[in-house]
Amino acid sequence: MRLSGKQALVTGAGRGIGKGCAVELARDGADVVLNDRPGSPDLQATAEAITRLGRRATTIEADVFSRGGCESLLRAAIDAVDRIDILVHNPARSIRSPFLDYDPDRFGQVIEGTLIGAFHMSQLVARAMVEAEQGGKIIFISSVHAVRPYAESAAYNAAKAGLNNLAGTAAAELTPYRINVNVIEPGWIDTPGERAMYGDRMVETEGAKLPWGRMGKPQDIGRTAAFLASDDASYITGSVLRVDGGFVLKECLSHR
């Protein structure tokens, strides 16, 4: 129970990686404020999974792609639990399109949701942590897209690369306040969104081709977040931890 007594805020916690992070933080002892978009059909199921673990779950719907939404979320979270010790920021927007045909407005939407929203949420939470004078942990969920420019993902690639650099800058500036800022870079993760996009059969067959023999699971990312949120990682800040089962190494094994 490394996180006993800690209060965590997980954005985009309705399903997939966000849910995996929230559940694993709770499994390690944290009480969790759960956020998802307004009207989310998934948030209550995450809350029920956490209460079954004996931890407190508070649900708050808010649009964290906007400054106003982030502000209202933080106010409600502080009102509910007094302080935030851990932030896991997960939401992103991905719109695929060939570079030559990419609609400029849609490009801006991806940057707004994935990068600028992360700036809003982390800055607001960091200010609250500084005011509380108790340190804290900020964890961004990035992607292997930050370092591998996959075709037809120009905006998402750029946003995730920017997210990594945002985290590094924040980490440097927040060291005097003992606020650790780190990044998790998932590879291909088996989430409801991936299954909706590619279908169950493709997820299974393509996962079997990866070096680890399967796609990642949300709990793989969640366990990493729980580690980074704990005192075991107190000397880690400004780091990017890739959690991909060797996904980016696949081409290195092409001779086999």
pLDDT 10s digits, 191-233: 888 788 778 888 889 889 899 999 999 999 999 999 999 999 9
What pLDDT shows up at residue 254? 65
Superfamily of domain 7-253: NAD(P)-binding Rossmann-like Domain (3.40.50.720)
What pLDDT shows up at residue 26? 98
Provide the 3-class DSSP secondary structure of residue 79: helix
Q: Which stretches in the chain have pLDDT values below 50?
A: none
What pLDDT shows up at residue 206? 87
Take residue 241 and report the two structure tokens written for it.
């931890």
User: Active site residue: 102, 150, 156, 198, which one?
Assistant: 156
Render 15-47 in DSSP notation, one character per residue.
SHHHHHHHHHHHHTT-EEEEEE-TT-SSHHHHH
The whole-angstrom separation of Cα 116 and Cα 208 is: 35
User: Considering the chain, what percentage of its residues have pLDDT values greater than 90?
Assistant: 88
First to last CA, the chain: 42
What pLDDT shows up at residue 194? 79
| Signed CA dihedral, 152, 183, 81, 67: sign only | negative
Helix axes 154-174, 104-111, angle to 10 degrees: 30
pTM: 0.95
Catalytic-residue membership of 156: yes
Take residue 108 and report the two structure tokens written for it.
């801006």
